[in-house]
Amino acid sequence: MAKTKGLSMSRQAYDLLRAEILSGRFRPEAKINIAETVARTKLSLGAVREALSRLSSEGLVTAETNKGFSVAPITLEELEDLTATRVMIECACLENAIANGDLHWESGIVSSIFELQRTPMLIGTPAHVNPRWTELHARFHQALVAGCDSPWLLRIREMLYVQAERYRIATMAFDRSKRNLEAEHQELADACIARDPARATQAMREHLTRTKRILIEADVVNARHA
């Protein structure tokens, strides 16, 4: 029973810290104080350490001897490589989904964008990212590729999506003046439902590279190696 409880607590710690990193609560390169995290979350020291080790293996956290854990930095080199790789994988998933998706796939796209467009992206004062919007945004992008019949493509896509979330969050302060996210999402949905792979992949390419351009223009990423 104790073992099961321990595993459950470790998962809670992992889910919480991961969500805080991906939502921007912990900024890139921010130190993660283990004692403070234990006190704040009421989770065990072992659970928090295990969660941080797992996040480190996933590239969301870095660990240094005698320095502890920090949120992974965001760098220009990684951003460019990550964006180029995402474009390849996301477009491959979209083409596959358009070729193989059924009516249920189309319905999933329609319902997910309906919810996303009716949920505010920013809430509170000062404004911060709405966790519900982040959840629905991920669901919408998953819905676009849900018709893909390649488990490996989808697995790789999910891994890249998680890594890219840290970069996307960094653009939120600039998104409202630099782009129309609602229009970008609508174009992706319309192109997929129209079964137009050329249009859909072009929309996805522009959607992903626009995030990169915003970060570079805003001087958010640094040029050193990760």
Instruction: List all residues 6 or more positions away from 8 whose beta carbon is below 8 Å from its beta carbon.
Output: none
3 state SS of 123:
strand
Is the peptide bond between 126 and the residue preceding it cis, with omega within 30 degrees of 0? yes
Residue 195: pLDDT over 80:
yes
| Start-to-end CA span in the chain (Å) | 41
Highest-confidence range of 32-41, 67-76, 83-92, by mean pLDDT?
83-92
Read off the tokens for 114.
């309906």
Q: How far apart are CA 160 and CA 95, in angstroms?
A: 18
pLDDT band at 225 (very low <50, low <70, confident <90, very high): very low
Judge whether residue 174 has pLDDT over 80: no
**What percentage of the chain carries pLDDT values higher than 70?**
88
Mean pLDDT (the chain, rounded) = 87
CA distance 46 to 181: 40
- The full set of domains in the chain, from first to last, is 2-71 (1.10.10.10), 76-217 (1.20.120.530)
pLDDT of residue 2: 37
Q: Tell me the range of 59-68, 155-164, 184-193 where mean pLDDT is highest.
A: 184-193
- Residues 10-59 have pLDDT tens digits of 899 998 998 888 877 888 888 999 999 999 989 999 999 999 999 998 88
Average pLDDT over residues 121-126: 80
pLDDT in tens, 109-121: 999 999 999 999 8
